[in-house]
A and B are shown apart, each in its own frame.
Chain A
């Protein structure tokens, strides 16, 4: 029963990781930029949720209506202003610019809001649902349900709509996409926007159960990288599954070994994948390690 309890809580936490990681992998797969500021986007989004709550009394779940569109637009701007001018530059330059953006954001947060841990006070943050002997945290359950909805939504969007198909086309062959009359720059902005919007959503779902502080981006950034490598770079379905797996691993390691060692486990998984199956968990056939989706 205890194991069951551990697995459920890990799976639910994994939902959040899945969402953040799907955003990261979407940006990588389409724009071909590793967003090293991804964790910092999440941190800023969490502060947004926090301040909306403190200043306006807005419930974190209601703040979804704000974080998602705001971070979509934020992502579009980052792509347009920061990445597009260096789109054709070598990878190192892109790495430095997203790393730099991340540093700017975390230092900005430190300057504006100190290193304090801040959390929103909501009645349901420790609420649980009891099913026979299992107890499930309500915020975790809500986050998990959202993660499932997002996965279903993203799947339908990418496979059923013209815009979704254009996004996949750009990720698979950008030159052919151009020849089809697809405005590749616009698709890059949309993909970066979606990737960031997912982070905005994750922030709203996290704040009822987490603290925010300026360096929290580091932790979530690290997790997202491990998940994305686990699932295969650029692979949305891989990122979803990978997120759940990392959630499970974290819960098991925390329950049976030592919660303080969870980062060590991320790294062990990371290195094992790179050694054993660098193309990621889910291979979509020849060449997919490079392209994904």
Chain B
């Protein structure tokens, strides 16, 4: 289980997260939604160790993530698929996938995991020798997800995976997330696409100007007209 307590984070002097408290239970899909610049990416970047908090704690199965180097965090199977994909664009799809499995435990299982990834994302198999930078947006997003899976995540955090994709592809990516979750992987979904995220989420948090302003079961929030109007501009 992931447990975030009283998390405060700043860029220099500018604080952007204020007393954030969140829990992500094993095996669940949890959504973190909120409008532009609410602090969603900052939250998962802090979980991934790219940012160090001013105060507060992030605990994942006894591991104090807030005290760890970012490169040690994939070793405890907490993996982020970053916003904007951040692929190694001059490298092939296969190389990108391999780079997802550089920590010792994942490396041992590289072959099996890659077969599993190709089964889940068959487009990647056909493109395995293409340069990642030459693929379409949708294919690139699949590479990013596949690369994340290569690290054998217990907790997979997906940041704006549907951003800029055509509606049909958005649908597909959400289906894929459900499939990944069905294999037992916990999901933390960071999205501006509120409707669809809440629809597949077991639980959700609403972040606004760096504070959690609401939380509840996905389906309850989805039904809450007030929430949609006041925070999500829907």
A residues near B (Cβ < 8 Å) are: 162, 165-166, 168-169, 172-173, 175-184, 284-288, 291, 293
Whole-angstrom distance between the alpha carbons of A224 and B107 in the complex? 38
Whole-angstrom distance between the alpha carbons of A167 and B108 in the complex? 20
Residues of A contacting B99 with CB < 8 Å?
Answer: 165-166, 169, 177, 180, 182
CB pair A285–B88 under 8 Å, yes or no, is no
Whole-angstrom distance between the alpha carbons of A182 and B101 in the complex? 10
Residues of A contacting B134 with CB < 8 Å?
Answer: 285
Whole-angstrom distance between the alpha carbons of A107 and B204 in the complex? 64
Residues of B55-93 contacting chain A, CB below 8 A: 69-75, 79-80, 82, 86-91
Taking the closest CB of chain B, its distance from the CB of A185, in whole angstroms, is 8
Closest to A286 in B: B133
Whole-angstrom distance between the alpha carbons of A180 and B152 in the complex? 11
Residues of B contacting A172 with CB < 8 Å?
Answer: 88-91
* Chain B 95-116 interface 0/1 with A at a Cβ cutoff of 8 Å (1 = within): 1001110110011000000000
B211 at the interface (CB under 8 A from A): no
Taking the closest CB of chain A, its distance from the CB of B168, in whole angstroms, is 27
B147 at the interface (CB under 8 A from A): yes
Taking the closest CB of chain B, its distance from the CB of A272, in whole angstroms, is 26
Top 5 A-B pairs, shortest CB-CB distance:
A181-B74, A176-B86, A181-B103, A183-B71, A178-B70
B residues near A (Cβ < 8 Å) are: 48-50, 69-75, 79-80, 82, 86-91, 95, 98-100, 102-103, 106-107, 131, 133-134, 147, 151
CB pair A175–B50 under 8 Å, yes or no, is yes
CB pair A293–B90 under 8 Å, yes or no, is yes
Residues of A contacting B89 with CB < 8 Å?
Answer: 172-173, 287
Residues of B contacting A165 with CB < 8 Å?
Answer: 91, 95, 98-99
Whole-angstrom distance between the alpha carbons of A165 and B71 in the complex? 16
Residues of B contacting A293 with CB < 8 Å?
Answer: 90
Which secondary structure dominates where chain A touches chain B?
helix
24 A-B residue pairs with Cβ-Cβ distance under 8 Å, sorted by A, are A165-B91, A165-B95, A165-B99, A166-B99, A169-B88, A169-B91, A169-B99, A172-B88, A173-B88, A175-B50, A176-B82, A176-B86, A179-B82, A180-B100, A180-B102, A181-B71, A181-B103, A181-B151, A182-B102, A183-B69, A284-B90, A285-B133, A285-B134, A287-B89
Residues of A contacting B103 with CB < 8 Å?
Answer: 181
CB pair A168–B71 under 8 Å, yes or no, is no
Residues of A contacting B98 with CB < 8 Å?
Answer: 162, 165
Whole-angstrom distance between the alpha carbons of A183 and B86 in the complex? 17
Closest to A292 in B: B90
Residues of B contacting A184 with CB < 8 Å?
Answer: 71
Residues of A contacting B90 with CB < 8 Å?
Answer: 168, 172, 284-285, 288, 291, 293
Closest to A287 in B: B89
Residues of B contacting A178 with CB < 8 Å?
Answer: 48-50, 70-71
CB pair B88–A175 under 8 Å, yes or no, is no
Residues of A contacting B73 with CB < 8 Å?
Answer: 181
Additional A-B contacts beyond A173-B87, A180-B102, A180-B151 (4; CB < 8 A) = A168-B90, A180-B74, A181-B102, A285-B134
Closest to B70 in A: A178
Residues of B contacting A285 with CB < 8 Å?
Answer: 90, 131, 133-134
Closest to A284 in B: B90
